[in-house]
Amino acid sequence: MPFALALTVVLGLLAVFQLALVLGAPLGRYAWGGQHRVLPARLRIGSAVSILVYAFIAVIAWDRVGAIDVFGEPFSEIAMWVIFAYFVLGIGMNAISRSKLERATMVPVSIVLAALSFLIAMGYGELATAA
């Protein structure tokens, strides 16, 4: 469960960041390619959707480790591998950003998220194995 908790904490921090972007905080250089200081409406919508995606990922992670039972076993197991691939893709996408600030902050965050999702997908931290 510590990996699911760590993943949830990082996703929660990202959700707060995305919410700040939605509300017009001048942090756009850290996200969405870094082309805007304050995000335009279409990217603010993207940030709002990201918050929902982060929440869904957290639910899947907690389901995968057995802390909650929302989805059937095959779904959460496969979904965690898809999430791992999503975060690996995020490493690459953030690494090619034109924004130095985005590269410097989001590449390490994506690496942490990919590592945590890998460990969860592998089944580390499951309640059944911890007992």
C-alpha count within 13 angstroms, C-beta hemisphere, residue 25:
12
Q: Between these two residues, 125 and 105, which has the higher pLDDT value?
A: 105
In the block, tokens 């945590």 appear at: 116
**Which tens digit of pLDDT belongs to each residue from 84-109?**
999 999 999 999 999 999 999 999 99
**Which tens digit of pLDDT belongs to each residue from 21-67?**
999 999 999 999 989 999 999 999 999 999 999 999 999 999 999 99
Question: How far is Cα 73 from Cα 70, in angstroms, rounded to an integer?
Answer: 9
| Residue whose C-alpha is closest to residue 7's, from 118, 121, 117 | 117
Question: How far is Cα 63 from Cα 109, in angstroms, rounded to an integer?
Answer: 22
In this prediction, residue 1 carries a pLDDT of 82
Q: Is 123 left (phi over 0), alpha (psi -120 to 50) or beta?
A: left
In this prediction, residue 129 carries a pLDDT of 47
What would the mean pLDDT of 55-81 be, rounded to a whole number? 94
In the block, tokens 């699911």 appear at: 4
pLDDT higher than 60, residue 77: yes
CB 30 within 8 A of CB 105: yes
Question: How far is Cα 100 from Cα 78, in angstroms, rounded to an integer?
Answer: 34
Q: Is 35 left (phi over 0), alpha (psi -120 to 50) or beta?
A: alpha
Q: pTM score > 0.85 for this model?
A: yes
**Which tens digit of pLDDT belongs to each residue from 1-18?**
899 999 999 999 999 999
